[in-house]
Amino acid sequence: MVVLNRIYTRSGDDGSTALGTGERRPKFDLRIEAYGTVDETNAAIGVARIWTSRSDQLVDEMLARIQNDLFDLGADLCTPDTGEKLEYEPLRIVQSQVDRVEREIDQLNGELQALRSFVLPGGSESAAGLHLARTICRRAERHMVQLSLQDGEIVSPAALKFINRLSDFLFVASRYVNAKEAGDVLWTPGQNR
């Protein structure tokens, strides 16, 4: 359970922040960068939901679940797996979360025409917001992969799969809402030469 009585603690004034284990790291640490970018992804999804809540209830409900999962992912990344037993069971992303996102991708994609060109970010407000969230999600994934390759840093396979599937979901969801609202904006190679 989370209890926040005070928003500021002054403990980060020295440029450090605490992980879920209590360990302090610089705010530019790659682990902090990874879960900070996950949080940024979540915020971008929140903005996209301003439009999906008005235009597509199915996608909006999926995004609401994903936002909760992203907090789970942030908690996972915030509590490094050191292989040591903790006094509590840390929250971790699990395969069933990945499986659900895959099912939702398949559900939305099943109603779409096959792509014959790359898609430019845009179309409807909903789709543009989802594309922005997708690009931030890809950045979070890059940070997580980089973190997983550092000595002594573990990022679970389920967490890496989840963030990878999420960017796929956001792409398919953008196409899905565009199919109902504005249509995909297709790339025309060399159009402006």
pLDDT over threshold 80, residue 3: no
Q: Give residue 183's pLDDT.
A: 87
pLDDT on residue 37 = 98
Question: What is the per-residue pLDDT for 82?
Answer: 81
pLDDT, residue 15, reads: 74
Calculate what percentage of the chain has a pLDDT beyond 70: 92
Of 14-18, 72-76, 126-130, 142-146, give the lowest mean pLDDT range.
Answer: 14-18
pLDDT of residue 88: 83
CB 185 within 8 A of CB 117: no
164, burial (CB in 10 Å: exposed 0-12, middle 13-18, buried 19+) = middle
pLDDT digits (tens, 9 = 90+) for 178-189: 999 888 889 999
Q: Strand, helix or coil at 180?
A: helix
Nearest to 142 by CA among 34, 65, 45, 42: 34
For the segment 163-176, the average pLDDT, to the nearest whole number, is 98
Q: Residue 75's pLDDT is what? A: 95
DSSP 70-115: HHHHHHHHHS---SSPPSS------HHHHHHHHHHHHHHHTTSPPP
Specify the pLDDT at position 84: 81
pLDDT band for 167, please (50, 70, 90 cuts): very high
Average pLDDT, the chain: 91
Contact in structure between 160 and 148 (CB atoms under 8 Å)? yes
Rounded distance between C-alpha atoms, residue 116 and residue 59, angstroms = 24
Has residue 90 got a pLDDT over 70? yes
d(CA 66, CA 186): 27
The mean pLDDT of 167-190, rounded to a whole number, is: 93
The model carries a pTM of 0.91
Question: Which residue ranges form the domains of the chain, and what is each CATH number?
Answer: 27-80+90-109+119-182 (1.20.1200.10)
pLDDT given for residue 182 in this prediction: 82
In a 10 Å sphere around its CB, with 0-12 CB exposed, 13-18 middle and 19+ buried, how is residue 29 labelled?
middle
pLDDT tens per residue, range 19-62: 777 778 777 799 999 999 999 999 999 999 999 999 999 999 99
* 27 SS3 class: coil
Three-state secondary-structure class, residue 9:
coil
